[in-house]
Amino acid sequence: MIRLATRGSALALAQARLVAGALSQECEIVPITTSGDRGRGDDKARFVKELEEALLAGEADLAVHSAKDVPARLPEGLAIVGVPERADARDALCGASSLAELPEGAVVGTSSLRRRAQLLALRSDLEVRDLRGNVDTRLRKLADGGYDALVLATAGLDRLDRGDVGTPFAPDELVPAPGQGCLALEGRSGDEPAAEAAGSLTDRDTLICLTAERALVAALDASCRTPVGAHAALRDGRLAMSVFVGLPDGSAWVRDVLEGDPHEPGSLGREIAERVQAAGGAELLERAVAL
C-alpha cells in the first residue's frame, strides 16, 4: 500500500487519482489541508509544507504536487523521485477567444503576478484584477459577469474535464510558470520502494524540461512573488527554453530564448538565468519583490 499525500482541492485530488491509477500497487489517497489552502503565507512552500511534514513524519509515502508549487530547494531528507509525462503547459484565456477580442479596459482576473505582468505587457489598457478560489469558483465569477475574461492553466482545466472553456495562449506569447503542467512526486530520501514506484512513472523528456526550468528558478531565486515565466521543450534533438521576467504592472520586462544540450538541462537553465539577469532581469526582480 502506497500512501499518497495531496492537497484536498478538486484539482489536487484529480491529480492524485491520476497517479494512483498509473501505479501498479494499491494506493491510499491522504488529503491534507495546507497553509495555502487556509490563505496563510506568501511564499511558494505554502502549498507543499504540510505534505512534506507528513512525509518526514512517516504519515505518507509520496506527495503529489503541481510542480510549479514546489520550491527549488527541498527540505533535507526529501527528494523529487518521480515526474510523470507533462500535460499541456500553456495558459488559457477563458471568456474570449483571444486578447485582441477583448474591448479596451476589459477586466481580466488572475491571482498570478506572472500572468498579470505578461497580460499588461501585451495590453496595457486591460484592468487586471485579483481573482482567487478553485477553478469552479473562478469560472462561476466569470459567468456571473464580474470579469470579462480570466486566465487559468490549461492542464488544470483538462484534468477537471473543463478544457472546452479556455483558449490556450502560445507558450511564447504568455510564457507559462516553471513546471506548469508537470506533476512532481516527492518522497523520503532512502525510501527505495516508494522511489522505485514513483520512478516507474517518470517520463524522460518531461524530467529534462522540468530540470531546466527548476534550475532557472534556483538561479534567479524566484518565488510566487516574482513574475517569472519559463518553458522548456525538446525540438529536433535540442532543448529550447523561453523565459520572461517583468514587473507586475507590465511596464518593463526581459524576454529571452536559448537552446542547449538536452543532456545538460541544468546548465541551460543556469545559463539563460545569467543572460536574463545581465539584461536587466536582476534589477526587475528586486523591484518586483519590493512592490
Q: Give the residue numbers annotated as catalytic, written as ranges.
A: 69
CA proximity to 229, closest of 182, 173, 163, 288: 173
Q: For 172-192, b where at least 16 C-beta lie within 10 A, e where not — what string?
A: eebbbbbbbbbbbbbbbeebe
Cβ pair 154, 163 in contact under 8 A: yes
What the block records as the C-alpha cell of 130 is 485579483
Backbone region of residue 105 per phi and psi (left: phi > 0; alpha: psi in -120 to 50; beta: other values)? left
CA proximity to 11, closest of 190, 218, 153, 202: 153
Strands (DSSP E) found in 54-212: 62-66, 78-82, 91-94, 107-109, 127-129, 149-153, 166-168, 183-188
What the block records as the C-alpha cell of 164 is 472546452
| Side chain identity at residue 181, one-letter code | G
Cβ pair 226, 248 in contact under 8 A: no
Measured CA to CA, the distance from residue 166 to residue 97 in angstroms comes to 8
Measured CA to CA, the distance from residue 188 to residue 2 in angstroms comes to 13
Measured CA to CA, the distance from residue 217 to residue 116 in angstroms comes to 19
